[in-house]
Amino acid sequence: MNAEITTDWTAPIMTMIIDRGKANAIDAATSRKMGASFEQFRDDPDYRVAIVTGAGDRFFSAGWDLKAAADGEAYEADNGPGGFGGFPELADLRKPVIVAVNGLAVGGGFEMVLAADLVVAAEHAEFMLPEALAGIVPDVGLIRLPKLLPKALATEVLMGTRRLSAQEALQFGLINRVVGADQLMEAAQELAATVIAAAPLSVAAMLEAMSLAESTSTPDALSDLRAGNYPLYKKVLTSADAAEGIAAFNEKRAPRWQGK
């Protein structure tokens, strides 16, 4: 555990709280520590889902720590194998990450939201990318946001001149739920419970398929699927969990997943 990043390992959920001053800004060293926790989460079969939130109720995260920048940290500093925030670029992470947005998600904080699998936000949460106003550019946001929003709106957000409310983010499908601030972690836990109820291999196969198909046309993606180029999809079909799921349905009982 790091004093600025609190990580609770209560299986099957890993919960991470960003607690770095008033704005929960993240420098490269902190990002690498977050990445190490996410690598542990990825590799430990006892953990099924991760929840990331910020301390306090004003900021989820202001993104890159500009104090570190003023001290000489480069914009493209080594943020670790998972990229900024520890998970957005982590290879073979086939477990869902839930982000619980407790306030402002700014710059890299917003990009963590865009990289998450599921997102719940407090009613007062807002989302923005101010990098252009600071003479730099987003990276994850620059690639992901135009795929998720209408072009005119994405351009306005990327230029740093438009801040999205929680309700707008919900309307455009950027997040899953908006709740009262006092219900935020409960809502995140409820989403986590839906993940945990599903078969681990099935969840992993779905995340793999969505990732692999993201930059592929639908016909090509289906062709790859049928050709066995989605390894986890193929593995699920003959898994013990597939047989268990059918047996549990017919016997009218809860399934006992093994993850194999």
CA dihedral 47, 53, 54, 59 (to 10 degrees): 160
> Is the pLDDT confidence value at 2 over 60?
no
3-state helix, strand, coil in the chain (%, to 5): 45, 15, 40
* Domains defined along the chain, listed by start: 5-196 (3.90.226.10), 199-250 (no CATH)
Summarised one tens digit per residue, pLDDT across range 158-211 is 998 899 999 999 999 999 999 999 999 999 999 999 999 999 999 999 999 998
> Is the pLDDT confidence value at 52 over 80?
yes
Annotated catalytic residues are: 111, 131
Summarised one tens digit per residue, pLDDT across range 242-253 is 999 999 999 999
**135 sits in which H/E element:** none
Task: Work out the burial of residue 212: count CB atoms within 10 Å of its CB; fewer than 13 is exposed, 13-18 middle, 19 or more buried.
Answer: middle
**What's the predicted TM-score (pTM) here?**
0.93
Q: What is residue 131's DSSP assignment?
A: G
Percent of the chain with pLDDT over 90: 75
Task: Work out the burial of residue 18: count CB atoms within 10 Å of its CB; fewer than 13 is exposed, 13-18 middle, 19 or more buried.
Answer: buried
